[in-house]
Amino acid sequence: MGSITLQQVRKSFGEVEVIPGVDLEIHDGEFVVFVGPSGCGKSTLLRLIAGLEDVTSGRIVIDGRDVTQAPPSQRKLAMVFQSYALYPHMSVRKNIAFPLKMAGMAADEQERRVQHAAGILNLTDYLDRRPGQLSGGQRQRVAIGRAIVREPSAFLFDEPLSNLDAALRVNMRVEISELHKKLATTMVYVTHDQVEAMTMADKIVVLRAGRVEQVGSPLELYRKPANRFVAGFIGSPN
Ligand code: ADP
Ligand code: MG
What is the model's pTM? Answer: 0.94
Q: Residue 197: what pLDDT?
A: 94
Give the residue, out of 10, 18, 193, 206, with the most ligand 1 atoms within 8 A of its beta carbon, to mutate for a pocket test.
18
* Residue 35, ligand 1, Cβ within 6 A: no
User: What are the residue ranges of helices labelled H in 51-165?
Assistant: 92-102, 107-121, 136-148
* Residue 38, ligand 1, Cβ within 6 A: yes
Buried b / exposed e along 112-147 (16+ C-beta atoms within 10 A): ebbbebbebbebeebbeebbeebeebbbbbbbbbbb
Q: Residue 161: what pLDDT?
A: 86
Q: Residue 238: what pLDDT?
A: 54
* Cα gap 63→49, rounded to integer Å: 12
Give the residue, out of 44, 49, 194, with the most ligand 1 atoms within 8 A of its beta carbon, to mutate for a pocket test.
44
* pLDDT single digits (tens) 186-216: 999 999 999 999 999 999 999 999 999 999 9
CA of 77 to the centre of ligand 1 (A): 21
Q: Does ipTM surpass 0.90 in this model?
A: yes
Amino acid at 117: A
* Residue 41, ligand 1, Cβ within 6 A: yes
Kindly state the average pLDDT of the residues 223-237.
88
Asked if residue 137 has pLDDT above 90, the reply is: no
Asked if residue 85 has pLDDT above 90, the reply is: no
Give the residue, out of 13, 38, 159, 208, with the most ligand 1 atoms within 8 A of its beta carbon, to mutate for a pocket test.
13
User: Can you spell out the DSSP letters for 18-39?
Assistant: EEEEEEEEE-TT-EEEEE-STT
Question: Tell me, what DSSP letter sits at residue 127?
Answer: T
Question: Average pLDDT of the chain?
Answer: 94
